[in-house]
């Protein structure tokens, strides 16, 4: 699944509805970025997105890591646009002329789409056949 600030509540609702009955845990992973060398670069904005999803989940206990993500999101929940503009990734995008993209990325819950990777393509999980959603 692909979640972000823009669709966090939709992803959390889908997980609560479709995944809560699964006999395995749900893991929410902030994707991060890569440095030019290819080494992983943690990205706080991805932590906020993961925290927004975790904050919306109604089922199951939270790990310490999930709670840290939820707490990180709570710290920026009231003004995600400013927070995103002021973090390293946002500043890089602004400097490269992508300031409008930063604003769009910070739109909390502006999308109901729940992207899921099925057979190499992202599809809206809300519309995927049930047999595809359990892979």
Position 87 scores a pLDDT of 94
- The structure tokens listed for 106 are 């910070």
Please give the Cα distance from 101 to 119 (Å, whole number): 28
Give this prediction's pTM.
0.89
Terminal CA-CA length for the chain: 11
Tens of pLDDT along 38-72?
Answer: 898 889 999 999 999 999 998 878 899 999 999 99
The reported pLDDT for the residue numbered 68 is 96
Nearest Cα neighbor of 29 from 10, 46, 8, 17 is 46
- pLDDT tens by residue, 73-93: 999 999 999 999 999 899 999
CB 63 within 8 A of CB 45: no
């Amino acid at each position: 699944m692909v979640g972000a600030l823009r669709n966090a509540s939709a992803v959390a609702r889908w997980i609560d509805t479709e995944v809560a009955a699964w006999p395995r845990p749900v893991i929410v992973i902030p994707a991060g970025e890569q440095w030019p060398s290819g080494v992983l670069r943690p990205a706080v904005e991805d932590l906020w997105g993961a925290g927004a999803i975790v904050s919306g989940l109604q089922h199951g206990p939270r790990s310490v890591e999930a709670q840290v993500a939820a707490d990180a999101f709570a710290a920026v929940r009231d003004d995600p646009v400013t927070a995103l503009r002021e973090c390293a990734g946002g500043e890089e995008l602004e400097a490269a002329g992508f300031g409008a993209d930063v604003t769009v990325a910070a739109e909390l819950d502006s999308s109901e789409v729940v992207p899921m990777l099925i057979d190499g393509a992202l599809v809206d999980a809300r519309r995927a056949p049930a047999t595809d959603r359990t892979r």
